[in-house]
Each structure stands twice: as structure tokens, then as C-alpha cells.
Chains A and B, each alone.
Chain A
């Protein structure tokens, strides 16, 4: 492994541990908290919701020449409406970034698309996440764009009326794209995967 890559991962590894710790706390709600987490304390769910997720991600382009997975902070924002009491749909956008210190190059993955979050059981904080959209990778003049799908799971912990905190783990997967240096294709059949671990706050 490139020593520079190793040293640049230390702050991000701390971020991952912090995220994991907060996720564990959110996964085990204290006694007495109502189990009807899908309703977040509301009698009838309707209207809109807004959420923001922050955490860490590990991203990698997949091809014969592609470099190993890199760690970095990740943030997302999503908003939408309730299709049913246990199903939220909406749009989301976010990004991940990593600085390759020795090369002085910043990698960034942008994403945007639609999302659906389903509570299989009304009395459980567990939710299943699905979505699709676009992912774009940028590193100076190098770029990659492709359609992606997202799958994941999350766990809600109601904080107050209409306010929920939780942890999530998601995987974004894009394929069949080309890595370009400006207008020149340098690699074909390239995939992009990002594994994200985050803590979210949702209103509504």
C-alpha cells in the first residue's frame, strides 16, 4: 500500500469509529421509548419529510488498473413525502470526498437521485432503503459518470415529536461507465461503489 494513502486515511478512520459509536448508541434506544418508531410519535403520518445524513464512506472505482478503496467523509440531504404511513419517497443528493495528500489530488463522488425508505413493520425502527440515480467521480481532470442503484438499511430512534435520529449503512453501485481524462477514454467497463455509514437526523 502506498504509505501516503495509509497516512491520509487516519483522520477518516477516526470519523468511521465516531460514526460507528453514534450508530451503536442510536441502535439501542433507552427503555421506555415507544416502539411505534415508524410514526415518529405522530398519530397520522402525512406531509413532507427532510433528512440529513453525515458519516464516512469508502469509495472505489473498479477496473483492472483502478486504485484501492479510499475512505472519506460523506454527507447527504434528502426530502420527500409519505406515500403511505410506512413508506417515504423522495429525492436525495450528496457527496463523498477524499484527499490524496502525496498527489495533492482530491477525489469526490457526487450523487443525486430518488430514494424510497420502507419500514417493514410499523412497530420497528428498522427501515429498508432503495434508490437509483446518478453518481459522478471527479479527480482533477479525470471523471466518471454512470447510473447507480442504492440499497441499504437503517434504524430509527425517535427523539421528539416529528424528529428522528438513526444510523444507516448503504451501498451505492454504478457500472458500465468509462473513466475519462477530459475527452479521452482511459478505461472502459469501469464500476464505482461507495459504502456509506452514517448518522441521520430526520424531520417529519
Chain B
């Protein structure tokens, strides 16, 4: 018997969502008829450690607002028992926003970059898409407002944050899908390619004053953005692991990535509709920047087999025979992550709710145009609140049987 799995959620729920979407006047795209496959769909293939077939893996999909099929969240171990070898973070079906926004289409913004006139493509791998969410977050209100007001929010976010390759050493454009709904009426759903810091440059993960020129970004015309990509480099490893001497190697201090984004949706006349600036943090990535290494790419697992780190801290319990970087036994696979939600600003008092922007979140208009990406913004101006969210996911670890780098 062939199992047919129509995306995530199930067909009946999909139909119900379509009915709800037709009646819902608050948010959430209508679910269009599927007309084809996005570039991001079907690009994953199983490796030597993976027991799921491509067909099982690809049975999890989402139809985007453009009618194209995209990959979406799936469990690292399929209910049938096979392992795909990678994880996409927290199961979004537990989010209070899931019924409203539906499964997140991975690569929706990337898909439309060429048609938008950007002049280049920016396609990201499959395994780097990571989901995180939290319900009923107590928000901080600036300027003393927290004493007078109480605001709670639900957030559901997906960030492409691959931590296994040299991609992010130079490439600063990464897809983010960010959904927020708050008790004060603040709300938006934004999907865009957000430039994080300067293209071609990374910031040392352990010393924010150290700026490292890593090469030419892809695409070469990647714009600079707010925020920064703080990625561990060889100096971090030398200071916190290799120089520890009789002390304990401090891998958590050495190997911590922080992608600090500043994302906006702006109208064609430059008016800012939405701004948000979460920081996406990863511990135990499977790479660090070392210009002395081939391709400037070094693997933390190699530290476990030489010098002071042998058998200590994160290297404890490893077999004597070196474990490859992409082996499930390696502790360095970027499965420990958390997000600083930070600020969320909406300026859309007069509406409408639905906007279309280019894939970088610019040129927002009320009608779709070639290469546009659908956005949703609540009718609200919350600038007086200085609304900031907490850190979410600190206690979560997304490791599972069979999970390994790349991820």
C-alpha cells in the first residue's frame, strides 16, 4: 500500500483550513490550488546515515500563496520509523498561530527573487530551515509601560540558519518567516530574504569588535543589512578551548553563533510598515571560520582528537576512532538553539491587512506584482509601546535519533 501524505496538516484539516480562511477576516493566506513545484522542493536526498526515502521526506510539503509546492517542517523521525538525518526545530502544529498561518513554505521568498528584478538568484539548502515558536509570551513594554500595561504575544518563526557550511561566512541574505499576534492588536506575518550585516563579512562570535572579511557574497549584489552574523572563528577556539590548559575547555563560549537580524517591510515610498529584530542563537555548530583551513572551513569535532579537549567537555564519551563531522555521534550539529525575540513594531493604522513586497521586504503595495511576496500586517500602530519579547527555546534541544550535520 502506498501512503499518500498531502502535506502537513492532513487533507481534512487542509480543507477545514480552507473554509476557515475563506471566512476569516483577520489573517492567513487562502490556500490556493497547487500549480507546480518551487525550486526548494525535492532538493534533499538521503545520505549514508539516513533511512527515510526521498519520497517519504517529500511527502511533507506546504502550498505557498503562489500555488507552488514547498518543503515544510517534518519530524526528524517519521512516524513510520525512518530517520531523515536532519531536523527543522520545533513542531509548528503546537503553535497557537498554526491554524491561522498554516504550514510554513520553506524557500517562498527565495523563489521569487529572480522575477522581482533583483538580477540574481539566492537558493538555500533544505536542512538549514529552523522553526521556533512560543505561545503567550509576556512582553516587555519600554519607558515604564510595563507597570501600566500587560501584553502577551504568540510568535511562530522560521529562520534559514544553516551552521555546517561556509555559506554564512560570506552570504548575508537568508530567508525568515515571522508570524506574531499580540493581545494589543499588534500582529504581522512577514516572509522575506533579510540581509544580515554586510555581505562578505562576518563578526567573530566571541569578540564583536573583530570583523573578518571572508570573501565575496553570493549573489555578489547582496545588499548590506542591519544586524550582524556573529560566527565563531579560530581565535575563539584558541582562546576558549585550546588555551584552557588544566581548566575545562569552554566550547559553549567558543562555539556560539548569533544571527542578529533587523528586518523590515517598507512601502514603495519608504514608509516602514513592520520592523522586527530577533537574534537567532546556535550552540555547537558543526563549523567555525578558520582562514588557515581549506575553504576557511574548520570542524569543531576535530578538536576532540587533539590537544586539551580530548575526552573533556563536549568531547566526553566520544569513541577513540575519530568521528566524522557529519556523523550522528558528533555533538556538534547545531541542535541547541534559542531566539531573543526583541522588538516588534507595526505602523499600519489605516491598513490594508494584505501587502505585497519584493523578496527583500521592500516596495510594499496593495496588489501583487512580478516577484512579489504576500505579507499580512495588522491595522495597528504600536510605536508607543516599544514592545520587546523574551528569549524563547533556551531549554530545548532538537537532537533526535539519526540527526547529524549538515543542519
Question: Footprint of B on A, CB under 8 Å?
Answer: 2, 61, 63-68, 70, 98, 100, 103, 105-107, 137, 139-142, 144, 179-182, 184-187
- How long is the Cα–Cα vector from A123 to B146 in the complex, in angstroms? 49
Known contacts A67-B148, A139-B145; A180 and B384 CB within 8 A of each other: yes
B150 touches A142 (CB 8 A): no
Question: Footprint of A on B, CB under 8 Å?
Answer: 138, 142-151, 183-184, 382-386
- The binding surface of chain A is classed by DSSP as strand
- How long is the Cα–Cα vector from A65 to B143 in the complex, in angstroms? 16
B384 touches A61 (CB 8 A): no
Known contacts A186-B149, A187-B149; A142 and B383 CB within 8 A of each other: no
| Minimum-distance CB pairs A-B, first 6 | A140-B144, A184-B384, A141-B143, A186-B384, A181-B384, A139-B144
- How long is the Cα–Cα vector from A73 to B245 in the complex, in angstroms? 57
- How long is the Cα–Cα vector from A186 to B182 in the complex, in angstroms? 14
B148 touches A139 (CB 8 A): yes
- How long is the Cα–Cα vector from A103 to B382 in the complex, in angstroms? 20
Q: Which residue of A lies closest to B144 (CB)?
A: A140
Q: Chain A contacts of B149 at CB under 8 A?
A: 61, 63, 65-67, 179, 186-187
Q: Chain A contacts of B138 at CB under 8 A?
A: 2
Name the residue in B146, B148, B184, B383 with the highest tally of chain A Cβ atoms < 10 Å from its Cβ.
B148
A61 touches B148 (CB 8 A): yes
A184 touches B183 (CB 8 A): no
Q: Chain B contacts of A139 at CB under 8 A?
A: 144-145, 147-148
Name the residue in B146, B147, B382 with the highest tally of chain A Cβ atoms < 10 Å from its Cβ.
B147
B147 touches A181 (CB 8 A): no
- How long is the Cα–Cα vector from A39 to B147 in the complex, in angstroms? 44
Q: Which residue of A lies closest to B184 (CB)?
A: A65
- How long is the Cα–Cα vector from A184 to B144 in the complex, in angstroms? 14
- How long is the Cα–Cα vector from A61 to B145 in the complex, in angstroms? 12
Which of A66, A141, A184 is in CB contact (< 8 Å) with B150?
Answer: A66
A137 touches B384 (CB 8 A): no
Which of A106, A185, A186 is in CB contact (< 8 Å) with B145?
Answer: A186
B385 touches A181 (CB 8 A): yes
Closest chain-B Cβ to A56's Cβ sits at a distance in Å of: 18
17 new A-B pairs (CB below 8 Å) besides A107-B147, A139-B145? Answer: A2-B138, A64-B183, A66-B150, A103-B146, A105-B144, A105-B146, A137-B148, A139-B144, A141-B144, A142-B143, A142-B144, A142-B145, A142-B147, A142-B148, A181-B142, A181-B145, A186-B145
Q: Which residue of B lies closest to A181 (CB)?
A: B384
Closest chain-B Cβ to A21's Cβ sits at a distance in Å of: 29
Which of A103, A182, A184 is in CB contact (< 8 Å) with B147?
Answer: A103
Q: Chain B contacts of A98 at CB under 8 A?
A: 147
Name the residue in B145, B150, B184, B385 with the highest tally of chain A Cβ atoms < 10 Å from its Cβ.
B145
Q: Which residue of B lies closest to A180 (CB)?
A: B384
Q: Chain B contacts of A100 at CB under 8 A?
A: 146-147
Cβ contacts A to B, 20 pairs, < 8 Å:
A2-B138, A64-B183, A65-B150, A65-B151, A65-B184, A66-B148, A66-B150, A67-B146, A67-B148, A103-B144, A105-B144, A107-B147, A140-B145, A141-B145, A142-B148, A181-B385, A181-B386, A182-B143, A184-B384, A186-B384
